[in-house]
Chain A
Amino acid sequence: MKHLEPDVIEGAARSAPEGDVAAHLASCAACRQHVASAKARQRLLGGLTPYTLSDVAFRRVEARLEEAIGAGELEPSPWRWLGWAAGALAVAAVAFVVVGSEPSLPRVVSLPQPKVVLAQAPFHPLTVLATRKAQARQGEGAWRELSPGDVLEAGELLSSQSATLAPQDDVAWAFSVDGSLALGGVATLTLGAGEVVARVGAPVEVLASTRRVLSHDALFSVSRVGAEVVLQVAEGEVEVVDSLTAERRRVKAPQALRWSDGSALSDGREEALVALVAPRVAAKPWVRLDASGLAVGTLVSLDGVSLGQAPFVELVTSGRRRLGLTPVGGAQRESWAELVGGQPFTPKVELPSLENDGPEPDAAALERVMSELKRQRPKLAACYDKWLKANPTAEGEVTLELLVGAQGRVKRARVTEGTISAASSECLVTTAKSLVLPPLGTDATLEVPLLLRTPRK
């Protein structure tokens, strides 16, 4: 049986076959298979969404062509430069090869190298310090969700509601981004849309639309919406270069300027400079603080610096840190948190709280309190006596932490450091809470070291 021609198969795939074609298909399984495949392929190709370049990309091409032409990179047809006789020979030779052919295009198109080779900006892997709804992907790869501790390489595309990143090997610069950008390549960062806030102490280049922002030491932000670029310089100085015209302009702090793509740099419109908050860069070693277990909206702070509202995860500096948790509609509670480098930390609202220290009590008041504590030392020693009864060789050092109210009442007490029996520890806390000390004028936390030792004979 003779099968259907390709054109007929295409037609049958496009619309319901009739007549002879329909009759043939009814009796030819192979032809039906071809029609079904063609129909699937047509759907596949018909579903493709056309695309094109952005206006900025079109202008970039135009700028590179301008530059290449201006620099004489693109030599016109060779016979223009030949003498008459040589030119005639060249024309004859070409005519011999492509006689009768209208386009006179070379069979093999040899392309010159464009003159403008965009330099690849140096780039070092970046560590994600903090993030909120951020994802990245390498080239055409799948998007992956980002979390603190993840590392981003050159060539990655980043899309984020909020992300703070810093190089792995140093903290000479860091940036936070709200929007989309590309890492590395022709610039350190290429902003697609949104805002980048950067604190830099090293050469960094941010490309936004046709504007290149070069900085060695500054706190600045670059935002881009469509073809609008806004630059704010809060500290230091940056240089802006127009990629199309190579025009340069220095912008010193404090200054904010707005340009439209294609406008001259000298046309930049001044704006009020808003306060810029530099991206916080935690010193190493980092601790992964996971606040995703807290109630939504709980405000988290470390050493008085707000980290944001839960849920979030962020890399922070290790050490003994003052952790503040403020539930929605509630009061802030603070506590000490031991953050150990390399170990994750999950804040909990159940942590024992310490009220804020008020203003520093004056030295004289503090002296009076310490004298009173020395005077009442026998009450504390009674606890040690109980320990000695249980263990005649017992001795040690402890730190008693007292939260003393403005009127001298001990609001809270606990043993924070040292080795002592549980019973003696409880005794010390109970005794301390019963103490009445001279008024301090303000709430204060006192750390009282106690040396528990029998007199040497």
Chain B
Amino acid sequence: MELSLYRWTTAGVQRRPVTSSASRADVVERARAGDVSAFRELYALHHRQVARQLTFLVPRSDLEDVLQDVFIEVYKSIRRFEGKSAFTTWLYRLTVHVAMKSRRKHTRSRLDIVEEVPDRAHEGPTPDEVSLSAERQARVEALLEQLSPKKRAVLVMHDLQGLEAQRIAELLDTNILTVRTRLFYARRELEQLAKDDPALADFFGGTK
């Protein structure tokens, strides 16, 4: 049966595409001025990017809630964005802060989690193009959750999202030495946790 195309609106406000950088800047300005419709457009423009940045930073079952928390914080803090850095940088910094402060929620079903299109994310180093089984993936994610928020953030941003240490230091408002130290200990802790995990120990088989 043929299906008609549906126009979709939310709360009576129809979406409109925002494409050029000038119009994007305009959206931020209008949001700063308290224009609620501009805030909606910010969400429409950036929700996928924020969700991608939150991946592995928070448990996947919390992704939806933390995404909501990020945009709540955007709404509350947008007036304090002064334009000294790109809005996306400011948003990334805020996203990481919210993720690091979030408490485990576990309120959502995994039915709403879908695999990301491979070429749109995961820019980190991939020495071997080996994808993990679903179970192993879950185990690795569980290990990441065991790291402290600070260590996890640095590890995910550096090793999974491919950011340079200097950039991470700027985003976390700290110095590069601290980033490197956290990264070193995060990696070492993760290796130890993985070696102790029966499902992952064979990855380290040759190291024992």
State whether the Cβ of A131 lies closer than 8 Å to any Cβ in chain B.
no
State whether the Cβ of B167 lies closer than 8 Å to any Cβ in chain A.
no
Q: Are A65 and B109 in contact (CB under 8 A)?
A: no
Q: For the complex, what is the distance from the CA of A185 to the CA of B5, rounded to whole Å?
A: 32
For residue A106, which residues in chain B have a CB less than 8 angstroms away from its CB? 77
A51 with B113, Cβ < 8 A, contacts A46-B124, A61-B64 known? yes
State whether the Cβ of A140 lies closer than 8 Å to any Cβ in chain B.
yes
B126 closest partner in A (C-beta): A46
34-62 of chain A: CB within 8 A of chain B = 36-54, 56-62
Q: For the complex, what is the distance from the CA of A221 to the CA of B111, rounded to whole Å?
A: 20
Determine the main DSSP class of A at the interface with B: mixed
Q: Are B140 and A42 in contact (CB under 8 A)?
A: no
A44 with B63, Cβ < 8 A, contacts A53-B51, A114-B72 known? no
Q: Which of A47, A80, A190, A262 contacts B8 (CB 8 A)?
A: A262
Q: Are B72 and A111 in contact (CB under 8 A)?
A: yes
Q: Are A42 and B72 in contact (CB under 8 A)?
A: no
State whether the Cβ of A252 lies closer than 8 Å to any Cβ in chain B.
no
Q: Are A109 and B64 in contact (CB under 8 A)?
A: no
Q: For the complex, what is the distance from the CA of A223 to the CA of B199, rounded to whole Å?
A: 38
Q: Are B112 and A53 in contact (CB under 8 A)?
A: yes
163-208 of chain B: CB within 8 A of chain A = 173, 180, 183-184, 187, 190-191, 194, 200, 203-204, 206-207
Interface centre among A49, A77, A108, A185 (most CB of B within 10 A): A49
Q: Separation in Å of the A305 CB from the closest CB of chain B?
A: 32
Q: Are B203 and A61 in contact (CB under 8 A)?
A: no
Q: Are B113 and A62 in contact (CB under 8 A)?
A: no
A42 with B125, Cβ < 8 A, contacts A51-B115, A53-B114, A102-B84 known? yes
Determine the main DSSP class of B at the interface with A: helix
A263 with B109, Cβ < 8 A, contacts A13-B127, A42-B125, A114-B68 known? no
Q: Are A77 and B132 in contact (CB under 8 A)?
A: no
Q: Are B47 and A40 in contact (CB under 8 A)?
A: no
For residue A38, which residues in chain B have a CB less than 8 angstroms away from its CB? 187, 191
A41 closest partner in B (C-beta): B191
Q: Are A157 and B110 in contact (CB under 8 A)?
A: yes
Q: For the complex, what is the distance from the CA of A48 to the CA of B9, rounded to whole Å?
A: 35
Q: Are A112 and B72 in contact (CB under 8 A)?
A: yes
For residue B26, which residues in chain A have a CB less than 8 angstroms away from its CB? none
Q: Which of B106, B122, B190, B203 contacts A43 (CB 8 A)?
A: B203
Interchain residue pairs with CB less than 8 A apart (6): A6-B183, A52-B51, A76-B76, A114-B68, A140-B138, A185-B109
State whether the Cβ of A391 lies closer than 8 Å to any Cβ in chain B.
no
Q: Which of A39, A77, A182, A244 contacts B111 (CB 8 A)?
A: A182
Q: Are B112 and A56 in contact (CB under 8 A)?
A: yes
Interface centre among B51, B68, B125, B200 (most CB of A within 10 A): B68
For residue B11, which residues in chain A have a CB less than 8 angstroms away from its CB? 63, 66, 70, 244-245
Interface size class on chain A is 35 or more
Q: For the complex, what is the distance from the CA of A271 to the CA of B2, rounded to whole Å?
A: 12
Q: Which of B111, B125, B200 contacts A192 (CB 8 A)?
A: B111
Q: For the complex, what is the distance from the CA of A57 to the CA of B85, rounded to whole Å?
A: 30
State whether the Cβ of B160 lies closer than 8 Å to any Cβ in chain A.
yes
State whether the Cβ of B104 lies closer than 8 Å to any Cβ in chain A.
no
B143 closest partner in A (C-beta): A44
For residue B23, which residues in chain A have a CB less than 8 angstroms away from its CB? none
For residue B173, which residues in chain A have a CB less than 8 angstroms away from its CB? 101, 103, 105
State whether the Cβ of A228 lies closer than 8 Å to any Cβ in chain B.
yes
Q: For the complex, what is the distance from the CA of A77 to the CA of B80, rounded to whole Å?
A: 8
Q: Are B194 and A65 in contact (CB under 8 A)?
A: no
State whether the Cβ of A33 lies closer than 8 Å to any Cβ in chain B.
yes
Q: Separation in Å of the B174 CB from the closest CB of chain A?
A: 12
Q: Which of B5, B72, B85, B124 contacts A65 (CB 8 A)?
A: B72
Q: For the complex, what is the distance from the CA of A111 to the CA of B101, rounded to whole Å?
A: 9
Q: For the complex, what is the distance from the CA of A80 to the CA of B77, rounded to whole Å?
A: 12
Q: Are B203 and A40 in contact (CB under 8 A)?
A: yes
Q: For the complex, what is the distance from the CA of A426 to the CA of B141, rounded to whole Å?
A: 73
Q: Which of B69, B111, B204 contacts A111 (CB 8 A)?
A: B69
Q: Separation in Å of the B46 CB from the closest CB of chain A?
A: 11
For residue B61, which residues in chain A have a CB less than 8 angstroms away from its CB? 140
Q: Are B10 and A245 in contact (CB under 8 A)?
A: yes
Q: Are B76 and A75 in contact (CB under 8 A)?
A: yes
For residue A14, which residues in chain B have a CB less than 8 angstroms away from its CB? 125, 127
A52 with B116, Cβ < 8 A, contacts A103-B93, A104-B82, A261-B8 known? yes
A267 closest partner in B (C-beta): B6
42-56 of chain B: CB within 8 A of chain A = 43-44, 47-48, 51-52, 55-56
Q: For the complex, what is the distance from the CA of A400 to the CA of B63, rounded to whole Å?
A: 71
Q: Separation in Å of the B171 CB from the closest CB of chain A?
A: 9
State whether the Cβ of A446 lies closer than 8 Å to any Cβ in chain B.
no
Going nearest first, the 9 A-B pairs with the smallest beta carbon separation are A262-B8, A263-B6, A50-B116, A46-B126, A57-B112, A50-B121, A47-B132, A260-B6, A192-B111
Q: Are B207 and A36 in contact (CB under 8 A)?
A: yes
For residue A75, which residues in chain B have a CB less than 8 angstroms away from its CB? 76
Q: Which of A65, A258, A262 contacts B43 (CB 8 A)?
A: A65
For residue A69, which residues in chain B have a CB less than 8 angstroms away from its CB? 36, 39, 75
State whether the Cβ of A74 lies closer than 8 Å to any Cβ in chain B.
yes
Q: Are B124 and A80 in contact (CB under 8 A)?
A: no
Interface centre among B60, B61, B71 (most CB of A within 10 A): B71
Q: Are A105 and B3 in contact (CB under 8 A)?
A: no
State whether the Cβ of A370 lies closer than 8 Å to any Cβ in chain B.
no
Q: Are B52 and A50 in contact (CB under 8 A)?
A: yes
Chain B 9-52: CB-based contact to A (< 8 A → 1; otherwise 0) = 11110000000000000000000001010011001100110011
State whether the Cβ of A68 lies closer than 8 Å to any Cβ in chain B.
yes
A45 closest partner in B (C-beta): B159
State whether the Cβ of A320 lies closer than 8 Å to any Cβ in chain B.
no
For residue A433, which residues in chain B have a CB less than 8 angstroms away from its CB? none
For residue A70, which residues in chain B have a CB less than 8 angstroms away from its CB? 11
For residue A112, which residues in chain B have a CB less than 8 angstroms away from its CB? 72, 76
Q: Are B67 and A53 in contact (CB under 8 A)?
A: yes
A14 closest partner in B (C-beta): B127
Chain B 93-120: CB-based contact to A (< 8 A → 1; otherwise 0) = 1100110010000101111111110101
